[in-house]
Amino acid sequence: MVKKSIHEINGRIRDGSVNVVTAEEMVDIVGELGAEGAAKEVDVVTTGTFGAMCSSGVWLNFGHSEPPIRIGKLWLNDVEAYSGVAAVDAYIGATQQSQSKGIEYGGAHVIEDLIRGNSIDLHGTSPGTDCYPRKVIDTTINIYDLNQAIMLNPRNSYQKYNAATNSTNHTLHTYMGSLLPHHGNVTYSGAGVLSPMHNDPNYETIGTGTRIFLGGTQGYIVGEGTQHSPAAGFGTLMLKGDLKNMSSEYIRAATFEGYGTSLYVGMGIPIPILNEDLAKATAITDDDIVTNLLDYGIPSRDRPVLRTVTYGELRSGSIDINGKEVPTSPMSSFKKSRQIANELKDWIKAGEFFVSMPVERLPTTTPCNAMKQSNVDLLVVDIMSSDVTTIHEDAGFHDAAKIIMEKQFNHLPVVDSGNHLVGIVTAWDISKAVAKDEHDLVKDIMTRKVVTTSPDEAVDISAFKLDSNNVSALPVIDSNKHVVGIVTSDDISKLLARRH
C-alpha cells in the first residue's frame, strides 16, 4: 500500500522533482500502471472547471467617507448590493440585475468590470446618525480604490449537475440555456473527467482550508457549500479568493436569455495522491459519471427524470431520448477547464503553489431538504371550473358561437373523435371568422397551440403560464389529454381578491 504525506509532496514541489498530471491524463496512467503504480509515480492530480456559478459574489470594503456614512442601500452601476452590514461593507451578488438595464447587466458584470479595472459608479443612501451623519454618497470607484474585494461563493463547483431538456411545445429559457420544444436539445454542465469533486468523491483532501485555483489566483475552500448534498453525489463548496488578483480570463459575466445574469467562474482543485485509493479515484472517466436527464418543461421542484445519462454520452454530441437522437450542448467550457487544470499543474511544477490538507473534512451526510412551507398552496383543482363544455373540431363555427353565447363564457376547448384536446376557440376567433366570412368549421379557426394545465398544478404556476403566454384561459387536462376543467384569469383574479 502506497502512503505519502503532504509534507513529502510539498518537499518535492520545493525541490522541483514533483510529478503533476491533470485528471484527464491520470486516466491513462492508472490504466497503464494500475492504481498502485500510479500512486507511486504521480504526486498531484489537477482538476478544473469553468461554468456558470450563480451563487457567487464579492465582499467589498470602500473605506470611510468624510463626513462618514453608514450605507443602508447601495447601488454599483445601478445594481443593488447588500450593505446591511456595518458602514462601508457590501456584498454584490452575481444574479442581482441592474435597475435600469435589467438582465443585460447585473452583479456578475460589475464583478467582471472590477477585475478589468473599470470605473464603477457608486450610489449609497443612509438614514443618517450622530456618528454617521451623511445621508447620500455618490462617487466613482475602481478595484484599486477598495480596501478589500474578496470573492465569496456560497455554493460553487457542483460535484455534478443534472442535464436538461424540455417536453413542452414552446421554447423554455432557463439557467441551463434555451431548451427547444419537444426535446429538441439537451444541455448539461460540469467538466466530467476534470470535475474537481468527482476526482475525490470521499473528500479525503477536499475540505475547509484546502488551497485551490480560483479565478486565476490562489483561493481557499471555506467549507461545504449551501445545498451540499453528498449522498446524492451533489456536493458543493463555499470558496473564497482575492478578486484583486483574479483575471477576466477566468471570471466572466453571463446573461441567460429570459432568466437573468450569472457568473462563469474558473476553479480547480489539486488532489495530492497520498495513497492508491486516491489514485484510483482520480482515474474516473466521463463514462463513470452518471447524472439525471430532467424535463424542465415541468415547472416543479420535482422534475421528472426522463433517463439517466453519463457524461460520456453527453459529451459525444447527442443522446437518445425515446428513440430520437437529440443534440447536446455543454454550458460550461471544457477547453477552459482543461486550461485551468494545466495552469494549476504549471504552478505546482514551478514551485509556486503548495498543496494542503483540509483542517476539517467536508460533511458526507448533510441532508438537503426542501423548503418548509407553512401555508398550503392552492392547486388548480381547487379553483378550476369543472363545468366545461367542449366542441368537436369538425363542428361548424356557428355551433361554437351558440355554445359560447348560451354558456356565457369566452373559451371553448376543441376535441377530436377520441375526446383529446386539439385546440381552443374563443369568442374573438369567432368574431374574426364572421368578419372575414371565410371559414365554417371550428378546426379552421381554432388555436392549435394550446397552453394547458393539470388538476394537481399549483395555482401560482397557472398564473405564470397565463401571464407569460399572454392568454386568458387554460384548459385543465388529465394524463390522457381529456379536458376535465378550465381555469381563467377571472378565477385567479377572484382568488387574489379573496386573499386581500
Binding interface with another protein (CB under 8 A): 50-52, 173, 177-178, 180, 184-187, 252-257, 262, 264, 317, 326-336, 338
Q: Is 368 a catalytic residue?
A: no
- Least separation, in Å, of the C-beta of 187 and another protein? 7
CB 253, min distance to another protein, A: 8
Answer yes or no: are the C-beta atoms of 217 and 347 closer than 8 Å. Answer: no
Give the integer Cα–Cα distance in Å for 45 and 35.
13
Distance, in Å, from the CA atom of 353 to the CA atom of 339, rounded to the nearest integer, reads 16
Task: Using the minimum distance from each CB to another protein, give the nearer residue, 218 or 255.
Answer: 255
Contact yes or no for 397/414 (Cβ under 8 A): no
User: Interhelix angle for 397-407 vs 427-436, to 10°?
Assistant: 140
Min dist CB 448 to another protein, Å, is: 17
Residue 389 or 469 having the CB closest to another protein: 469
Smallest separation (angstroms) from another protein to the CB of 24: 11
Query: In angstroms, what is the minimal distance from the CB of 329 to another protein?
Result: 4
DSSP state at residue 235: -
For 88-144, give the DSSP string: TEEEEETT-EETTTEEEEEHHHHHHHHHTT--EEEEEE----SSS---EEEEEE-GG
377 touches 459 (CB < 8 A): yes
3-state secondary structure of 199: helix
Q: What angle do CA 333, 338, 343 make, to 5 degrees?
A: 125
Backbone angles phi, psi at 444, to 5 degrees: -80, -25
Q: Which triple of cell numbers denotes residue 395?
A: 363542428
Contact present, 105 and 75 (Cβ < 8 Å): no
Query: Residue 277 corresponds to which amino acid?
Result: D
Nearer to another protein, 180 or 357 (CB): 180
Q: How far is the CB of 467 from another protein (least distance, A)?
A: 20
Tell me the closest approach of the beta carbon of residue 16 to another protein, in angstroms: 29
Strand-pair category, 172-174 with 207-208:
unpaired
Is residue 289 within 8 A of residue 311, CB to CB? The reply is: yes
Q: For residues 60 and 78, give the distance between their C-alpha atoms in angstroms, rounded to a whole number.
A: 16
Q: Phi then psi for 356, rounded to 5 degrees?
A: -140, 155
Q: Is 69 within 8 Å of 134 (Cβ atoms)?
A: yes
Cα within 13 Å of Cα(100), Cβ side: 4
**414, 415, 416, 446: which is closest to 430 by C-alpha?**
446
What span, in angstroms and rounded, lies between the C-alpha atoms of 234 and 292? 11
| Shortest Å distance, C-beta 77 to another protein | 17
DSSP 27-96: HHHHHHHHHHHHHHH-SEEE--EEEE-SS-EEEEE----SS----SEEEETTEEEB--STTTEEEEETT-
Distance in Å, CB of 333 to another protein, minimum: 4
Given 15, 127, 131, 500, the catalytic residue:
131
Alpha carbons 229 and 431: distance in angstroms, whole number: 56
The number of beta carbons lying within 10 Å of the beta carbon of residue 75 is 23
Task: Report which residue type is found at 15.
Answer: D
Contact 202, 361 (CB under 8 A): no
Taking the complex as a whole, how short is the minimal distance between the CB of residue 437 and another protein, in angstroms? 17
How far is the C-alpha of 32 from the C-alpha of 40, rounded, in Å? 13
Q: Among all residues, which ones are annotated catalytic?
A: 131
